[in-house]
Chain A
Amino acid sequence: MAEAFKFELVSPERLLVSEQVESVVIPGAEGEMTVMAEHAPVMTTIKPGVVTVKAAGGKEDRYVVFGGFADILPSGCTLLAESAVHVNDIDRADLARRIQDAKEDAADAKDDVARSRAEQFLAQLTTLEGALLPA
């Protein structure tokens, strides 16, 4: 059995998770990464996606996060999410609204950099929707 470490998932509204876990899969901005105990210190932004938390007891939990960043230390991992919900509580309408917002942002973007950014965000959201809908 792998060593456990402390994982915290925090959204501006509240602290969602704070427990000992075995591993966490984080949707990093430059690809997914699995964090385990004694991970080298990394700071990364995250894209909209699913965080999979494997608790020390072996129980798996999944959370949907919409952007944010992760602060990884050998002793623990803190995920600051812009907004986060448990996968079971995800609201389709809410997701649809976010996608709509992202589309508007992409349409309103003034310069190329902003537009490509907005489009990237939109693509991430749609992928996320695709991954969640059949669930």
Chain B
Amino acid sequence: MASLKDLRNRIASVKATQKITKAMQMVAAAKLRRAQEAAEAARPYSERMGAVLANITQAIGGGGDAPALMTGTGRDDVHLLIVCTAERGLCGGFNSQIARLARDHIRRLLADGKQVKIICVGKKGYDILRRDYGSLILERVDLREVKTLGFVNADAIARKVIHLFNEGGFDICTLFYSQFKSVISQIPTAQQIIPAAQASATADAGSGGAVYEYEPEPGEILSDLIPRNIAVQIFRALLENAAGEMGAKMSAMDNATRNAGDMINRLSITYNRQRQAQITKELIEIISGAEAL
């Protein structure tokens, strides 16, 4: 049985932990708001981009001059996976969920005899995937130094990917990230970005099928647009991830704070009981001593 002093120390240490988790929760809440705002601010751009892209694809009508980035190489032998995770842990199952989705995907591809290459964005995903598929990881992008995610960060990744594609490094590129649904729910998602999924091309343009004039030619605009669209997709994934990470961290830290509170309660009860028992014991000793006289 632990002594009174041990219990006191234990309670003090759990209280200190609780303070830390509480502080982390509040920091995450503040950051979450900012991340959410950033994600919302970026939404108009990606929406318009989708509309414009749908429009222009319609104009070209899937003709032969669509760039390879859109139609793909026609093979699916080499897959590139971009796995976006957080840079930091202590956010519940957030990172492992994304990693699990990616790992299932990798396993399936490897079982089909495909070749797999991985680019890790974020430290945690790299740490998890390195154990099983270390040899497949081409690169890891470190965003730890980045205070506020900018489009340049996404653009840099997109450039690497496009460069790799032009060199014939892969046929199909899939982006793994966590969709931010709400503070308590983030959905790990796999999204194919190269070749662009056909679903986006058939989406309603929303402009009532206006006949556009193009300046310069549609093909030329498209070849400019598609790389940018990839960067936008990655940017959106990064922003959603940032918001999701903060949401996950907030609820994880909220749980931790509550657990610490429960623990303190339990320990306090044990402490009080023991103290009471000791007092009773001392009293009995005194009384029986007095009776013996």
A interface vs B, CB < 8 Å? 8, 10-15, 28-30, 40-45, 69, 71, 73-74, 78, 80, 82-83
**Alpha-carbon distance A2/B232, docked complex (angstroms):** 35
Contact in complex: A10, B48 (CB < 8 Å): yes
Contacts of B232 in A (CB 8 A): 12
Contact in complex: B215, A29 (CB < 8 Å): yes
Q: Which of B1-9, B113-121, B221-229 lies on the face that meets chain A? A: B221-229
User: Quick one: which of B110-149 are within 8 Å of A by CB?
Assistant: none
Residue of B nearest to A80 (CB): B48
Nearest CB in chain A: distance from B52 CB, A: 5
B interface vs A, CB < 8 Å? 38, 41-42, 44-46, 48-49, 51-52, 55-56, 150-151, 154, 207, 210-216, 218, 220-221, 224-225, 228, 231-232, 235
Contacts of A30 in B (CB 8 A): 215-216
Contacts of A29 in B (CB 8 A): 215-216
Which of A12, A15, A41, A45 is B212 in contact with, Cβ under 8 Å? A41
Which of A11, A14, A40, A78 is B213 in contact with, Cβ under 8 Å? A40
**Alpha-carbon distance A19/B216, docked complex (angstroms):** 27
Contact in complex: A41, B213 (CB < 8 Å): yes
Contacts of A71 in B (CB 8 A): 48, 51-52, 55
With contacts A43-B52, A69-B224, A73-B207 taken as known, whether A14 is within 8 angstroms of B42 at the C-beta atoms is: yes
**Alpha-carbon distance A43/B225, docked complex (angstroms):** 12
Residue of B nearest to A12 (CB): B151
Contact in complex: B150, A73 (CB < 8 Å): no
**Alpha-carbon distance A78/B48, docked complex (angstroms):** 8
**Alpha-carbon distance A73/B212, docked complex (angstroms):** 8
With contacts A41-B211, A44-B215, A69-B52 taken as known, whether A82 is within 8 angstroms of B151 at the C-beta atoms is: yes
Which of A43, A45, A74, A80 is B45 in contact with, Cβ under 8 Å? A80
Residue of A nearest to B218 (CB): A43
Contacts of A45 in B (CB 8 A): 215-216, 220-221, 224
**Alpha-carbon distance A43/B219, docked complex (angstroms):** 12
Contacts of B231 in A (CB 8 A): 12
Contact in complex: A73, B210 (CB < 8 Å): yes
Contacts of B221 in A (CB 8 A): 43-45, 69
With contacts A12-B235, A43-B52 taken as known, whether A82 is within 8 angstroms of B215 at the C-beta atoms is: no
Contacts of A40 in B (CB 8 A): 213
Knowing that A11-B45, A13-B42, A80-B49 are A-B contacts, what are 19 other residue pairs whose CB atoms are under 8 Å apart, sorted by A's residue number? A10-B44, A10-B45, A12-B46, A12-B232, A14-B42, A15-B41, A29-B215, A29-B216, A41-B211, A42-B215, A43-B56, A44-B215, A44-B221, A45-B220, A69-B224, A69-B225, A71-B48, A73-B207, A73-B210
**Alpha-carbon distance A42/B210, docked complex (angstroms):** 10
Contact in complex: A11, B216 (CB < 8 Å): no
**Alpha-carbon distance A8/B44, docked complex (angstroms):** 10
Contact in complex: B42, A80 (CB < 8 Å): no
Contacts of B48 in A (CB 8 A): 8, 10, 71, 78, 80
